[in-house]
Structure 1
Amino acid sequence: MAKVIIFGVLDTAELAHYYLTHDSADEVVAFTVNREFLKETEFKGLPVVAFEDVETIFPPQEFKFFAPMTGRKMNKNREKIYLEAKAKGYGFISYISSKATLFNNQIGENCFILEDNTIQPFTTIGNNVVLWSGNHIGHHGQIKDHVFFTSHVVLSGHCVIESYCFFGVNSTIRDYLHIAEGTLVAMSASVTKATEPWGVYMGNPAEKRPIPSHKVY
């Protein structure tokens, strides 16, 4: 059992607190946010402290860290906090739902894997990966660091997913594909061929689309 500090006080942090409290042996002891967003000193009955000071209040030798953040800016925000907490000396937990189906898969740290995910044999998952509920992750694949799957994504077998990818709800990826770094797969898109780095893919079959000039991922 680890004593855990959660980064954030918004919906995802609240969900993480619920899951860890009701479906893990770990104990949440505090929350932390960047000082500029520190509006309240308590959340869910637990202290909230400035991230800039967290290691002096909750020493890394005694506490673990969890940053279950969204995929904003193609997972770069979550990566930033993950790396900064690591630089402070923290180790990380991962949460894997008891209602997920796994087969002795290798899974990295600071992963948030919710209910009804099926991760088939011989697929590995890197660090700082989010799998929201209800995804099918096919066999003999590799998901690298800082990736976000929303819900009901079908990833077929033998796929390699590079870092910083994002998969929208109900998207589908055919087998044996290489999904390049920073690929954004839109909701309900069907990817049938390898992608290019930092491309946005929409449609069925999915095609690369230009990023609108006003849009920041």
Structure 2
Amino acid sequence: MIKSKKLIIVGDTAFAEIALEYFDADSDYEVVGFSVEEAFLKAPKKCGLPVMPFEHLDSYFSPDNHYVYVAIVYTQLNRLRTRLSTTAKNKGYKLASYISSRAFIWRNVELGEHCFIFEDNTVQPFVKIGKNVVLWSGNHIGHHSTINDNCFIASHAVISGFCDIGENTFIGVNATVANNINVGKDNWLGPNTVIMKNTESGSLFKTEQPDPAKITANRFFKVKE
């Protein structure tokens, strides 16, 4: 694939490394550097590329011919990714998106800027996805549903048809949202939660760790030491 666009990745965590790998292998972006806020700058290079202070990014990489992707997960209910991407856009940078060539995105899906959609996502007809949304691998987004701005959907979640997911919401692995449900903004849906009715803004749905059985796994499976 011809690399026709130059990209800076904001962040230096595991997501930043993953973003580098995906953009490099499966996009027309050439990653030319990383950037973090000056107070968190740990090293001058990452993965062989320069790391520049975010506050002075435009002194190193011109906004005229560079794109930015902010590889931050759901910190502060997605506020950190939102703040940094908004600041980069205000500096004059275009915001990049990554859409895996192995994701299934129906032709009439509406997709906002600065999104990252991993492999094996299924996004059905008439879905609307706002800006600054992350869909980790293997999710199902049902027809006529809306995912509003600044959401993070972890792996293998199911959002059924005609749902509305409020902005800044996090949905954990294997969570399920039934048909015709409105999830309020700033919600946290823990792993494996099932949402069967509308939720209020700011709701947190925890997942309880099950207690271990009184018998050990070794004894149950008759493992001889």
How does the TM-score come out when normalised to structure 1?
0.91
Match of 2:53 in 1: 50
TM superposition shift of 1:203:
6.1
Map 1:120-131 to 2 at 5 A.
120-131=124-135
Counterpart for residue 139 of structure 2: 135
Aligned counterparts of 2:92 and 2:41: Cα–Cα separation in 1:
22
Q: Distance in 2 between matches of 1:121 and 1:203?
A: 31
**1:1-217 residue pairs with structure 2 within 5 A?**
1-104=4-107, 105-202=109-206
Distance in 2 between residues matched to 1:159 and 1:59, nearest whole Å: 40
Amino acid corresponding to residue 170 of structure 2 in structure 1:
F
Query: Structure 2: any 5+ residue segments left out of the alignment?
Result: 209-225
Query: CA shift at 1:65, angstroms?
Result: 0.5
SS in 2 for 1:187: coil
Q: Which amino acid aligns with 1:69?
A: I
Q: How many residue pairs are counted as aligned between the two chains?
A: 204
Q: CA deviation digits over 1:105-134, x for unaligned, max 9?
A: 221111111011000011011110000001
Instruction: Letter of the 1:175 partner, please give it.
Output: N
The alpha carbon displacement at 1:2 in A equals 1.6
Question: How far has the Cα of 1:201 moved from its partner?
Answer: 2.0
Cα distance in structure 2, aligned partners of 1:20 and 1:151: 19
Per-residue displacement from partner, 1:147-194 (whole Å, max 9, x unpaired)?
A: 000110000001111101000110000011111111111111100000
Any idea what the Cα deviations from partners look like across 1:14-73, whole Å, max 9, x if unmatched?
Answer: 000000001111110110001111121111111110001101211111101000211011
CA distance in 1, matches of 2:207, 2:15: 29
How far apart are the structure 1 equivalents of 2:164 and 2:5?
32
- TM-score calculated relative to the size of structure 2: 0.88
The letter of the residue matching 2:44 is T
Structure 1 moving runs of 4+ over 6 Å? none
The CA RMSD over aligned residues, in Å, is 1.2
Deviations 1:89-113, CA, capped at 9 Å, x for gaps? 1111100111100112221111111
Q: Return the alpha-carbon distance in structure 2 between the equivalents of residues 168 and 127 of structure 1.
A: 19
Q: Secondary structure at the match of 1:21?
A: helix
Give the aligned residue type for 1:46: L
